[in-house]
């Protein structure tokens, strides 16, 4: 058991070390502006070379042999300031007992920051307040799927999960979640 855990940690550490070269710096998703901004020239001459003729692959025009690697990252994206503000508003609404209002603000935040675990944990909490525990558990799971190697987020997520499962009467599941939080 311990050896497996150690193994797991080593692997994660290894992966973390290696991932730096597999993904971009910082680990967050890379923003790519569009190639063309079409205001100045509404119908620009096409840059795309192959679209007008049938695409016959010739060896010479194939992309370079240098192989790109599929991308991945170890942590979800960082929360942009605008989304953090909305989550803050949602927290106040939740504290004031307006869970539905909190969901509205969190959904706005989710559209801005769809790959940040915090947003989904927030939604899970709001759905707990709405007593929709099934939805709450799913949002907690979604948040955990984006927490990656951030152990603080993992821990928060599993503690939240433990609460939700306990409230749903799933004692074994709650204990399991708590154990995962404790191991972090």
Partner 1 sequence: MAGRFRYNPAMKKSAPQKKSPKKRSPKGKKQPWFWRLFLRVSLIGLVLLAGWMVYLDAVVTSRFEGRRFEVPSRVYARPLELYDGASVSASALQRELELAGYRSGSAAAAGSYRRSGGQFEIHTRGFRFSDGEEPRRRLSLSVFGDRVQQFSVVDGPTSPIVRLEPAQIGGIYPAHKEDRVLVELDEVPELFRNTLMAVEDRQFYDHFGIAPMSIARAMLANIRAGGIVQGGSTLTQQLVKNFFLTRDQTLLRKGNEALMSLLLELHYEKDDILETYINEVYVGQAGTRAIHGFGLASQFYFGESIADLDSHQIAMLVGLVKGPSYYNPRRHPERARSRRNLVLGVMADSGLISEQEASRAQGQPLGVASKPSYSENRYPAYIDLVRRHLARDYRQEDLQSEGLRIFTTLNPAIQYAAEFAVTDTLKSMDGRSEGVLESAMVVTSRDSGEVLALVGGRDPQFAGFNRAVDARRPIGSLVKPFIYLTALQNPDEYTLVTPVEDKSFSLVFDDGRRWEPKNYDGEERGEVPLHLALSRSYNLPAVRVGLDVGIDAVKTTLQNFGVSDGISDYPSMLLGSVSMTPVTVAQIYQGLATSGFNTPLRTIRQVTDSDGQALSRYSLKVDQVADSASVHLVQYAMQEAMQEGTGRSVYRTVPDELTLAGKTGTTDDGRDSWFAGFSGDLLAVTWVGRDDNGPTPLTGATGALPVWARFMSRVPQHGFSPVVPDGVAYHWVNSEQAAITEQGCENARFMPFIVGSEPDIEASCGGSIQSRVRGWFEGLFE
Residues within window 93-132 making contact with partner 1, judged by CB under 8 A:
100-101, 103-105, 107-108, 110-112, 114-115, 120, 123
| Cα–Cα dist 86/82, whole Å | 6
Q: How far is the CB of 15 from partner 1 (least distance, A)?
A: 5
Is the Cβ of residue 81 or residue 152 nearer to partner 1 in the bound state?
81
Size of the site for partner 1 (CB under 8 A): 72
Q: Find the shortest distance in angstroms from Cβ 171 to partner 1.
A: 21
Widest distance between CA atoms in the chain: 65
Q: How far is the C-alpha of 181 from the C-alpha of 156, rounded, in Å? A: 7
Give the dihedral sign, CA 66/67/68/69: negative
173 touching partner 1, by CB under 8 A:
no
Query: Residue 7, interface with partner 1 (CB under 8 A)?
Result: yes
Binder to partner 1 among 79, 99, 133, 147 (CB under 8 A)? 147
d(Cα 181, Cα 157) in Å, to the nearest integer?
Answer: 8
Q: Would you count residue 38 as binding partner 1 (CB under 8 A)?
A: yes
Assess 75 for contact with partner 1 (CB under 8 A).
Answer: yes
Nearest Cα to Cα of residue 115 among 89, 145, 154, 136 = 145
């Amino acid at each position: 058991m311990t050896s497996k855990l150690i193994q797991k940690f080593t692997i994660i550490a290894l992966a973390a070390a290696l991932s730096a070269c597999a993904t971009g710096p910082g680990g967050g998703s890379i923003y790519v502006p569009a190639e063309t901004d079409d205001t100045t020239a509404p119908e620009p001459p096409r840059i795309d070379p192959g679209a007008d003729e049938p695409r016959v692959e010739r060896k010479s025009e194939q992309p370079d042999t240098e192989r790109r690697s599929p991308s991945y990252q170890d942590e979800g994206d960082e929360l942009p300031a605008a989304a953090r503000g909305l989550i803050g508003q949602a927290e106040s609404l939740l504290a004031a007992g307006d869970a539905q209002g909190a969901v509205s603000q969190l959904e706005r935040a989710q559209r801005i920051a769809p790959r940040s675990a915090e947003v989904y944990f927030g939604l899970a909490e709001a759905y707990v307040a709405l007593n929709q525990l099934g939805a709450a558990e799913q949002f907690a799971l979604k948040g955990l799927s984006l927490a990656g190697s951030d152990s603080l987020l993992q821990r928060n997520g599993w503690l939240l999960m433990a609460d939700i499962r306990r409230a749903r009467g799933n004692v074994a599941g709650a204990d399991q979640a708590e154990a995962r939080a404790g191991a972090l």
